[in-house]
């Protein structure tokens, strides 16, 4: 029997349920009888007349499966997509106001598996770090690799451009930290702790942060560096074996980190202490993205979940089941209106902020997607484990950056987010 016939049987069960709630065992029995796993795409189709007729789902290897011991229906909420832990519901809305399609502008063969990517703040260029230790500088406008260089054969796990100078800092799996000029010449080099996982520059470019895998439980896992001297200013002990990602806050007075302890943590340089720390993810946090106008930080986890956090309160205000594999890529567009997520299963999803309605989803790579970054409001670069770097252009069905109203402060970002939450409750 064809899939469409199986699906019609499931729909009939839904429509004929008097209380508009489907018992989980009905779905499971029918799915098992038809050898038809209930995956994420099926759940989207269960939405009818403002309600999603399905039971609670669990994120499993084969997809999103109903949980055996519960049965309820979720309520439709305008422009929202994902699991809301506060309501205990899995909410889906596949109808979007501004659907976005991506066109492949260029595909660059790197010659080795890509691991990390960073975008030059002033030029239409980006740098890609690879598994064999090479770094490639690529041109967006020319759609080609400009130059390639390396210092050693250890995997380049982290890259960051200075926002104020034409320099690039790389971090390797063997703990080596290198400062390069844009021609690929080494300016400075030092050895840090084991396995550098991420690098981020302060807004003024005078300092940068690195995060690491700790050799010992009591060892520092975050270091604060002076850019000019290339020496450590201070260190932080994060209660985690591995800190996968670290990002400065917009004002440069603190930073946010995430790692294998499932926690997102906000730190203050002035207090030299934690402002708040929350464990709401159910898997290790892999990537972070701070909103370009402040107020919000996004986190992506091993489980495929993406969360938006209110930096003032520490509340997780949005939760998206974005991917079936771990989230390796996370970026917010320069306008602060679009969130891009990339999953291990090779897809890229685009979401409208602050309500997190889905704008588009497409398969970007043949291998794992390993990272992504916005070049500008209509251009995105992604890298994959198959050794390709791709440049994507978005079509004209979304407002251009010049037409989007920019924020004036982090408070405006939070106010818009909170208004969107209030509209969900109406």
Per-residue pLDDT of the chain (426 residues; tens, 9 = 90+): 343 454 455 445 444 433 333 444 444 455 555 554 444 333 333 333 334 344 444 444 444 444 433 333 333 333 333 443 444 444 333 333 344 567 888 899 999 999 999 999 988 999 999 999 999 999 999 999 999 999 999 999 999 999 999 999 999 999 999 999 989 999 999 988 779 999 999 999 999 999 998 777 767 789 999 999 999 999 988 777 899 999 999 999 999 999 999 999 999 998 888 999 999 888 899 999 999 999 999 999 998 889 999 998 999 888 887 887 789 999 999 989 899 999 888 888 888 888 787 777 788 888 889 999 999 988 999 999 999 999 998 864 544 444 445 666 677 777 777 776 665 554
E strands of 12-164, at which residues? 47-48, 51-52, 57-60, 63-66, 74-75, 82-84, 89-91, 102-109, 114-119, 125-130, 135-139, 144-149, 156-161
In the chain, % helix, strand, coil (3-state, to 5) comes to 10, 45, 45
| One domain, residues 71 and 108 | no
| One domain, residues 261 and 197 | yes
Report the 10 Å Cβ neighbour count for 285.
29
| One domain, residues 180 and 313 | yes
363 located within any domain: yes
Provide the domain limits for residue 142: 102-419
Among 76, 93, 125, the domain boundary falls at 76
**pLDDT at position 243:** 93
**pLDDT at position 16:** 43
94 located within any domain: no
Tokens of 226: 């002076």
Sign of CA dihedral 58, 41, 286, 254: negative
In the chain, the number of structural domains is: 2
What is the C-alpha separation between 233 and 211, in angstroms, rounded? 14
31 located within any domain: yes
| One domain, residues 301 and 404 | yes
**pLDDT at position 238:** 78
**pLDDT at position 421:** 65
278 located within any domain: yes
425 located within any domain: no
**pLDDT at position 420:** 67
CATH number of the domain that residue 415 is part of: 2.130.10.10
**pLDDT at position 395:** 67
| One domain, residues 34 and 161 | no
401 located within any domain: yes
What is the C-alpha separation between 217 and 214, in angstroms, rounded? 7
87 located within any domain: no
| One domain, residues 28 and 153 | no
| One domain, residues 18 and 141 | no
**pLDDT at position 216:** 73
**pLDDT at position 194:** 79
């Amino acid at each position: 029997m064809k899939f469409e016939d199986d699906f019609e049987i499931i729909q009939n069960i839904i429509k004929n349920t008097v209380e508009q709630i489907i018992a989980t065992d009905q779905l499971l029995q029918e799915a098992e009888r038809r050898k038809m796993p209930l995956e994420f795409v099926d759940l989207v189709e269960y939405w009818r007349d403002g309600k999603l007729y399905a039971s609670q789902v669990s994120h499993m290897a084969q997809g999103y499966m109903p949980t055996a011991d519960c049965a309820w229906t979720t309520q439709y909420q305008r422009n929202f997509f994902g699991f809301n832990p506060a309501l205990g519901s899995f909410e889906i809305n596949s109808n979007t106001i501004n659907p976005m399609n991506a066109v492949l502008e260029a595909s660059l063969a790197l010659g080795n598996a890509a691991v990390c990517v960073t975008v030059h703040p002033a030029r239409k260029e980006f740098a890609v770090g690879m598994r064999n230790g090479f770094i490639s500088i690529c041109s967006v406008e020319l759609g080609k690799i400009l130059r390639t260089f390396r210092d050693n054969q250890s995997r380049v796990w982290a890259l960051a451009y200075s926002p104020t100078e034409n320099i690039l800092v790389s971090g390797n799996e063997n703990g080596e930290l290198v400062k390069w000029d844009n021609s690929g010449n080494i300016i400075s080099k030092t050895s840090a702790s084991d396995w550098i996982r991420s690098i981020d520059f302060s807004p003024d470019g005078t300092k940068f942060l690195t995060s690491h895998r700790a050799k010992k439980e009591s060892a520092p896992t975050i270091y604060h560096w002076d850019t000019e001297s290339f020496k450590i200013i201070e260190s932080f002990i994060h209660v985690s074996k591995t800190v996968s990602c670290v990002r400065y806050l917009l004002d440069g007075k603190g930073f946010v980190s995430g790692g294998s302890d499932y926690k997102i943590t906000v730190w203050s340089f002035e207090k030299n202490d934690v402002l708040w720390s929350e464990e709401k993810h159910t898997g290790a946090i892999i990537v972070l993205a701070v909103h370009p106008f402040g107020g919000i930080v996004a986190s992506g986890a091993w489980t495929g979940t993406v969360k938006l956090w209110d930096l003032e309160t520490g509340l997780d205000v949005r939760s998206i089941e974005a991917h079936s594999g771990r989230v390796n890529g996370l970026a917010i567009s320069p306008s602060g209106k679009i969130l891009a997520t990339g999953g291990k299963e090779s897809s890229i999803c685009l979401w409208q902020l602050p309500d997190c309605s889905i704008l588009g989803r497409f398969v970007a790579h043949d291998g794992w997607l390993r990272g992504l970054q916005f070049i500008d409001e209509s251009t995105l670069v992604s890298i994959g484990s198959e050794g390709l770097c791709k440049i994507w252009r978005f079509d004209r069905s979304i407002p251009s950056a010049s037409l989007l109203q920019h924020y004036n402060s982090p408070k405006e970002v939070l106010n818009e987010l909170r208004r969107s939450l209030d509209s969900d409750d109406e």
